[in-house]
Structure 1
């Protein structure tokens, strides 16, 4: 029986693929607007649906009603066409494979994603580095869903309950991410959170945002497992 839900952020937590992402955005922008992309908005842990409107604004585009679905569809196509370049131009974050494998051995765990990336792109990113084997992509929360990232926590919990028959809440759900936005989303959405200082947020910023545990990176798999186990034990959490 599944009794622990672990939701991973993707970019700068598990992988980093800036070149393919930038090129895919540029092509999708050109397809939708007919203009070249000049300024790419920083992700900052936000869902793709938020980033796209920021991109439009930074490039002086007043979006029409159908721009978001058209852009996300074009982004999926342009990213997929570059899937064979992901591993060559990107990198797997330190310890990512070992951490996923170690957490998978924890009793009752199911792992999925809570990511700003659209689902198809997230699958390509993990598959390119062989990180997809321990992830149930069907129960995650993704960037094409027009909800704040905090709401995606609850979306993922609901999907996991429907699939596995277990009610997932703050006591048995952990988000693992590298940004203060990930931490804040987890706290608001109803999950414990492990901050990983492998992205643009420093360890002190992750702690200040409310992370339950902060790790420098994922290179010590036993620390990751210990953190997940401790945060998904209701008795231990109340005692602490």
Structure 2
């Protein structure tokens, strides 16, 4: 058996409990020189889109160089404030158990498909001890594209995996739709702002309340 597991991060594996927004605000001001007044809606979209649309809300037109400056500042802020992130945020129930259980299954590879930029993704998971089972080289990140579906396809390409070998686990309709558009099975968890009803309506193959049922979740992923 071979299986490629594509994990979303925020509200699927971890919850920053507001620290993420705080660090984004600091990075936005560092990159643009303008204090953050409001932020574009963030559920299920990538940092490229969040930054561009947030800048637009402040009357700023941005390009790739501006985004790269923001991404660098955001990574720096996460490293500087890692202790606060660890104190205020949390790994979600069952996340560590299922990541480590899957790491023991022959033929399973785990990575992330996330709107976070790679450096931030690594810091977030490292803070909560969830980074070990992740193959970072085959993941897809916020600097790689704007559409979730494109990130899913990029991860498949980097892993040299067929869609039939993959399963994506996320918490938003955007995660579900991105996976389905790439013909990838999707398991949704109602641990974020989207309800189970929302996730069923988006077309998720399975919807779970959380990641706590380790054995049954591993069976669902590998079956």
For normalisation by structure 2, the TM-score amounts to 0.94
**Aligned residue for 1:197?**
190
> In 2, Cα distance between the equivalents of 1:105 and 1:213?
23
**Aligned residue for 2:175?**
182
Per-residue displacement from partner, 1:60-83 (whole Å, max 9, x unpaired)? 322256321221122112222112
Change (3 A) 1:64 1:4: closer
Secondary structure of the corresponding residue to residue 119 of structure 2: helix
**Aligned residue for 2:66?**
67
> In 2, Cα distance between the equivalents of 1:129 and 1:13?
13
The answer to whether 1:210 aligns with 2:203 is yes
Aligned counterparts, 1:104-143, within 5 A: 104-143=103-142
> In 2, Cα distance between the equivalents of 1:132 and 1:144?
19
**Aligned residue for 1:238?**
none
Q: How many residues align?
A: 223
Change (3 A) 1:225 1:33: same
Per-residue displacement from partner, 1:166-207 (whole Å, max 9, x unpaired)? xx1221100000001000000112311000011111111111
**Aligned residue for 2:98?**
99
For normalisation by structure 1, the TM-score amounts to 0.88
> In 1, Cα distance between the equivalents of 2:135 and 2:146?
21
**Aligned residue for 1:76?**
75
Secondary structure of the corresponding residue to residue 42 of structure 1: coil
> In 2, Cα distance between the equivalents of 1:117 and 1:65?
16
Secondary structure of the corresponding residue to residue 34 of structure 2: coil
Aligned counterparts, 1:49-68, within 5 A: 49-64=48-63, 66-68=65-67
**Aligned residue for 1:36?**
35
Q: Which has the larger radius of gyration?
A: 1
> In 1, Cα distance between the equivalents of 2:58 and 2:214?
42
Structure 2: tracts of 5 or more residues without a match: none
> In 2, Cα distance between the equivalents of 1:40 and 1:80?
22
**Structure 1 vs Structure 2 CA RMSD:** 1.5
